Structure 1
């Protein structure tokens, strides 16, 4: 069993280059999963992380600028995030790590995998963004920043009871976390909108078993995008979870964790 001394439960991770991120560690499995979140609140992923921790030691950081993680001035691109996490894997000495990318985190995971899979044994993408599959005028990803929140909730979740709802009635800390996450998401993914136009041409470099999981009721990025994304990753497998929307791990945490553990 590999040891993981760089992070303890409910603490942070020192990532080098002066970057210290808020992070959680759960479980004591022999396998390690690095979970890269999307723009959801950390609390929303709690059930998923707990389910995954039944079979893995799970490390889940908040990206720089998201949640309670500070962002250094130089960290402004998804490239920066990918190198940050790859550097942490190198310094940790861990091998055979399962990298799980959730939505925006899927884009970060893809950028990591095309650069180096030396310490990565498996890649898992859950309703990921990051790749342009259609033509320049094809709208593949709904504009998160221009969509009214009530409509956005319906697109993010198959069951809107999972949504935070009207932020005017939310707890102040929740509303602030949503605002900070959305501000960071806009900085990293405003233009080009939530994708790297070069990434598609380098996906042949992903040489580890890959699993693409998609919510069957994803109203942000349709399941057809997910199937095509899986087809572009050598040997990738596609799984659809019919009862889930865009944040499938929030609505179906046990089912998503089981798919990852069994892969």
Structure 2
């Protein structure tokens, strides 16, 4: 099935697909042509094709799955933690026939992307981590979104609250509320204890061999910029970039700046012959 891009004013489209797994289906969007980019979403933003997806799809083939339990994906009983998500995405890469795709992960998805690149460096062409979670820095604690009111979540995620309408409906109906509750339930399943961290990850980041960009917003109120800097320090050869004038949800708040930064990096690390993908 083909659906219109979610952002107002966009005339582009993406293909919606479902993959059958034992115990349920996994939902994904696919759009664009070229070298494949696997985009792993944050705690929010599942189930839709956004402006930033479309911007990347102008240069790459973007594959944007919903993590099990999020968006349009069923909860899979055997995917219980981030370690299970890693093997889930190893399987997805192989099932889709992606040859060393670029992997881009945002926040929680950045943590998953980093763990994937640690566990299977041979599968990853290049890596982009957007304000990634996953590290434990006691001197720079991560904010707990579970303890915030909806208004506090908006203030935490966006430097300009007016941009929050991209991600949050102004007057959510019952379906919006139930979808958000389901996503947060899945998020808690993967990240509750220990909260948004793998204490062993720091000492494993040296295993990443893919060219890596770590990009953080200057006004992140959820995951301090120090976390991104630590990732960049520990991943061999990693580049570090700051995106100005935006909060944690930078790819929603400043999609063009996000896309320009990521596209420039990925283009530099794309082979002359695009990686193959079977449909």
- Note whether the superposition's TM-score is higher than 0.5: yes
Q: Which residue of 1 aligns with 2:196?
A: 194
Distance change (3 Å), C-alpha of 1:59 and 1:17: same
Q: Which residue of 2 aligns with 1:10?
A: 16
Equivalent residues of 1:27, 1:58 under 8 A apart: yes
Q: Which residue of 2 aligns with 1:90?
A: 94
Provide the C-alpha distance between the structure 1 equivalents of 2:245 and 2:131, rounded to a whole number of angstroms: 13
Distance change (3 Å), C-alpha of 1:161 and 1:233: same
**Which of 36, 52, 74 lines up with 1:48 in the alignment?**
52
**Which of 211, 214, 225 lines up with 1:212 in the alignment?**
214
Q: Does 1:160 align with 2:161?
A: yes
Q: Does 1:61 align with 2:61?
A: no
**Which of 22, 38, 49 lines up with 1:34 in the alignment?**
38
Equivalent residues of 1:230, 1:238 under 8 A apart: yes
Q: How many residue pairs align between the two structures?
A: 251
Q: Which residue of 1 aligns with 2:8?
A: none
Provide the C-alpha distance between the structure 2 equivalents of 1:219 and 1:57, rounded to a whole number of angstroms: 31
Distance change (3 Å), C-alpha of 1:167 and 1:114: same
Q: Which residue of 1 aligns with 2:149?
A: 148
Q: Does 1:100 align with 2:104?
A: yes
Provide the C-alpha distance between the structure 2 equivalents of 1:261 and 1:168, rounded to a whole number of angstroms: 31
| Structure 1, gaps ≥5 residues long | 1-7
Q: Which residue of 1 aligns with 2:30?
A: 25
Helix, strand or coil: the match of 1:243? coil
Once the 2 structures are TM-superposed, how far is the Cα of residue 41 of structure 1 from its aligned partner?
2.9
When normalised by structure 2's length, the TM-score is: 0.84
| Structure 2, gaps ≥5 residues long | 1-13, 266-279
Equivalent residues of 2:30, 2:61 under 8 A apart: yes
Could you tell which deviates more after superposition, 188-197 or 153-162?
Answer: 153-162
Provide the C-alpha distance between the structure 2 equivalents of 1:219 and 1:230, rounded to a whole number of angstroms: 19
Could you tell which deviates more after superposition, 107-116 or 161-170?
Answer: 161-170
Q: Which residue of 1 aligns with 2:7?
A: none
Structural RMSD (CA)? 2.0
Could you tell which deviates more after superposition, 36-45 or 220-229?
Answer: 36-45
Helix, strand or coil: the match of 2:98? coil
Provide the C-alpha distance between the structure 1 equivalents of 2:151 and 2:180, rounded to a whole number of angstroms: 14
Counterparts of 1:170-181 in structure 2 under 5 Å?
170-181=172-183
When normalised by structure 1's length, the TM-score is: 0.89
Provide the C-alpha distance between the structure 1 equivalents of 2:168 and 2:251, rounded to a whole number of angstroms: 22
